Structure formats: C-alpha cells, structure tokens
Amino acid sequence: MTDTAPYLPDFAPRFDTDLVRPYWDALARGHMVLPACSVCGAWQWYPYEFIKCHADAHQDWKPVPATGTLFTYTVVHRSFLPNAPRDTEPYVSALVELDGIPGVRIPTFLVNLEGRTPAIGMRVRLSPLPRSSYTAPAFEPVGQESRP
Ligand SMILES: [Zn+2]
C-alpha cells in the first residue's frame, strides 16, 4: 500500500492516559469527539487534567460535527521528518473551526486538495488519515466555494 501522507509522523500519540485516548479512538473509527465540562457543557480543548469552569466536573467526550471552516493554514515547504521523501513537499498544516463548536480550533492537515488552493474560510470536512499505529486528524475541502 502506498503511504498517502509520508510527511506525517508514524508513531502513536500517548495512549497511556485517558486524558486524550477518546480523541484518538474516535478518529480511528472515522469521527471526532471533544471533551466538554460535565456540568455546564463548555468545550475544553485542549484536554486538561482539571475542568476550567467547575471544580467538581469531569470531561464528557461528545461527538462533534465532521464539517467546519478553515481558520488559518500554512503551506510547509520542509519535511516534518528528516527521512521523508522530498517529493512529498509541500503539505498544508491548518487550524479548523468545527461547525457549532465555538472557540475550538483543531490542529490538523489539509488533504485531497486536488489542485485547489487553500483559503481562509474554505469549507472542509473530516477525512482521517490512517497511519500504521494511529489515525491522524485531517480535513479535505468541500465543494469549490470559500467564504471571505
Ligand atoms: Zn462547566
């Protein structure tokens, strides 16, 4: 099988803590979950040992929409890994805001651009990238339009 994202690291994130395990498990199943306060429902991204708003709360992992908007991006012209093939460059590192999840920005990669130029405000949808030891968060453009 050809590696569709040789620029991505292929070593597993930390699974030895429940702090982030639900996030990676959900990505492996093709969707995304994020932690929220069990008392008031406020999103808590990034995951943190203590809930910011309620001392007696815990993290509830909730499914989130697979669609969103490109908040910002950068086209990376250097390999993330020293041994990545040079013909994989450049790639697009991005922050995505999910629909209906205010204040949360997901660090991710843009994939399947198929000639489209990234643009802030571009509509995107989740397109997880399976690696040999984990599944990476990635998004792809939806349609041709972008918002200003
Ligand atoms: Zn709360």
State the distance from the centre of ligand 1 to the C-alpha of 59, rounded, in angstroms. Answer: 9
Euclidean distance between CA atoms 80 and 66, whole angstroms: 26
Tally of residues, the chain? 148
State the distance from the centre of ligand 1 to the C-alpha of 55, rounded, in angstroms. Answer: 8
Domain residue ranges in the chain: 15-64, 65-148
In the predicted structure, residue 145 carries a pLDDT above the cut 60: no
Q: Residues 99, 68: contact at Cβ < 8 Å?
A: yes
State the distance from the centre of ligand 1 to the C-alpha of 111, rounded, in angstroms. Answer: 34
Q: What is the pLDDT of residues 84-130, one digit of tens each?
A: 666 666 889 999 999 999 889 999 999 999 889 999 999 999 999 99
In the predicted structure, residue 38 carries a pLDDT above the cut 80: yes
State the distance from the centre of ligand 1 to the C-alpha of 58, rounded, in angstroms. Answer: 9
CATH of domain 65-148: 2.40.50
pLDDT band at 140 (very low <50, low <70, confident <90, very high): very high
State the distance from the centre of ligand 1 to the C-alpha of 54, rounded, in angstroms. Answer: 5
The tokens for 84 are 């990545």
Residue 57 has what pLDDT?
86
Residue 138 has what pLDDT?
95
State the distance from the centre of ligand 1 to the C-alpha of 49, rounded, in angstroms. Answer: 14
State the distance from the centre of ligand 1 to the C-alpha of 67, rounded, in angstroms. Answer: 25
State the distance from the centre of ligand 1 to the C-alpha of 5, rounded, in angstroms. Answer: 38
Instruction: Return the exposure string of 6-27: e unless at least 16 CB atoms fall within 10 Å of the residue's CB, then b.
Output: bbbeeeeeeeeeeebebbbebb
State the distance from the centre of ligand 1 to the C-alpha of 101, rounded, in angstroms. Answer: 15
State the distance from the centre of ligand 1 to the C-alpha of 53, rounded, in angstroms. Answer: 4
